[in-house]
Structure 1
Amino acid sequence: MSKPLNNVRISEEELYALRMKIRQSVEGEMEALSPEMEKSNVYPKELWDIGKKLDLFRMTIPVQYGGMGLCYEQWFTIMEEIGRGNSAIRMFFHQTNGLGWEVLGLYGPEHLKNKYLPLLAKGDYFGSFALTEPDCGSGADIQTTAVKDGDNWVLNGTKTLISFTDIADCFFTIAVTDDKNRKNGLTAFFVPADTPGLVIDPMPHMMGCRGTGHAHLRMKNMIVPDSYRIGPVGEGLNQFLHALAISRASIGVCLLGMCQRFLEMAIARANDRVTFGKKIIQRQAIQQTIADMATRVYTLRLLAHECAKQIDNGEDIEMISSMLKLEAIDSVRIVSDSCLEIFGGIGYFEDNPYGPVERMYRDARAMWFEEGPRTVQRLTLVRDVIAKKGEMRKNNYQ
């Protein structure tokens, strides 16, 4: 893994001010748009203006292309704030600062980077990541093919569960170019959304994360110029796996933000809720539950911080990003259940005065599957654990 292109650090004072400004927006103007998103399943136009105002399109894009180029150690603290709110909005800004530019920025040809990265940084262009397929998931066994025809490639196949297809200007996709050598036989492509032969087939509404425009992408004799190829032929899988490792970590950080918000709402409710003449926060059983919730949050934050440092140092994060996602799934499951129990019946209703407990509870479940569920994370990380014989520290003081 090479050092990332984004390595700028702002002062701690600037970072804190930025975080608080974003938190205020997440829990204020962004939250106000959520009820309509829940009903319409459409991403509101107003969020583009909010994102531009808060510089949320350019946080991680390199400075030379108009971005802020923030290092991951600082970007993850901002991502945690975004994770406190609506998960469809979280997914959007997670994508604009990761999967929506990284493959192009790290591996794409200069003419594409110079043209599109500045547009992405301004929020005037949006890229969506198209890897997963209906019958074979997101690995080396994908079935979409790309056949060379002169200066073009002809792509055929179907991608599924692709997000924000209704607002995407382009897609970063991957196809088989050498069926006999799957490990080095997949190639990445930049595909404008209006490419002939590309059909977008919308999917039903989800349980949570509504407004994310999920759809199937069907490619039938879709012609992509070789100049739109990203990186060398056969290197697509390695490129996408690198981007997915960072994305996994980002999802873990967003789940950290969600866990933190659940903890805060649970404490507020426990301070107000009275049973048999006594606030439930004074009851030992509730205090123990809150202690367990807080420990989960604190542990998850330490793991996120360590993962961010490793990304910024250019280290291989395959293991730690999967650990972070695995721990985040387990934590949000326990913390959200505990929060709902502390709330009692009113936690199951919409329009809760303490916060969006009901919606967040649903949204959390969608994040179990982004970039792989717990079983996949265990399979991913255990290879390194076994190879290192269980010793994961560089020294006794790490």
Structure 2
Amino acid sequence: MYEFPSLPAPDPRDVELLTTVQQWWGQGVLQLQENALQLLRERAEQGEGWAAALGSWLAMQQGSPEGYERSIDFAIQAAEYGFSGQLSMALNNTIGMIGSYPQLADRISDLVNAGAWWGAPGFDPIGQGWNALHSGQPQLAVQLMMLPTPLPLPVTDQQLSGMVHLAQARIKEINSLADTARQDGSNVAEASAEARDRLESGSVTALATIEAASTDAQAAINQALVDLETRARQAGLLVSSTTSEATNVLYDAEAKRNTKESRSSWRLGLGVLGLAAVVAVLPVVLHYLHVGPKYSSFEQIALHLVSTAALASWAGVMLARARSRDQAAQRAHDLSTAMGTMISYSSQIRDDAERERFMTVMGQMILQAHLTTNSKGGGGDESLAGMLALMNMVKPTALPASST
């Protein structure tokens, strides 16, 4: 049973070509219309019959003898590619214009020989496509114009040539599909054989690969454990060193601050003491030089004693403060030395419990020495008691270590 063709899927380039032709033709400029016909002629020479049919229809709209001549040429070319709908329309228009343009009579035989007399007036695919284009549907316009209108039977050489051309094109498509199918079948067979060979050979190598990978993984795990332990020890030592350095920085900062304050207070005290001496001696010197007011012996002695006592008291306070800061600076230096020594010794103790106990006792002693006020009574006894406690705690754990 014969099946009517459905709307084909046009090439996007054909849609763009048709839009350009419509824009140029609609401006009514002769040169632009000639350019539009040239575009259609080039596309028709590439085997697109709808472009030749459209060229025939547009050339007919020019209404000139040259336009009718081009319309007949386009219609015959379109019929050769299976688009014979324009033959009968070109024949009707040519017959109607013989009275005005007698020279067109010679072309009627060309249209008849091409099979125009077989066509009957009816559906105009090109005219309807042009109307669709003006309605803003270029896609539909191309689809309508691409509908072939072959004759029921091939009766002329041109029609036979058109059918042969279409048949050859379809045969090429079928052969291409057959070649593609054969190539795909060959590729599937090769892929199947290759997969079978890989599966057979891979099963043996897979076991060996798994065993080798298991051995390598175990070795890597063991090495990773060793590296982790080593890095953990290094990290612990680094943390201890960092803690010691941070603590030493605090003690050193305090020592520097106390030293600076002690030096300033010492200098100020010495300056005040010298000033007190100068004040004490100056009135006596001025008195003997006969400068200034006259004082009695009692007034001079009282004035000297009062000023000297006041300045000497201030100088004594400043000197005492300087002495206190000097002792605090020395103490901070001692604590910094003790902290560094504690960290250095603790890194050499391998027993964790012994090292922890050593660090705890030494840390308590250092903190106690730092927080305890500097007094002459009791400071030495507390330090001696701490040292005895440290020796008692370290000694029992040191004996078993030495026996091994």
Q: TM range, normalised to the smaller chain?
A: under 0.3
Normalising by structure 1, we get a TM-score of 0.22
Of Structure 1 and Structure 2, the greater strand share is in 1
More helix by share: 2
Q: Which of the two has higher C-alpha Rg?
A: 2
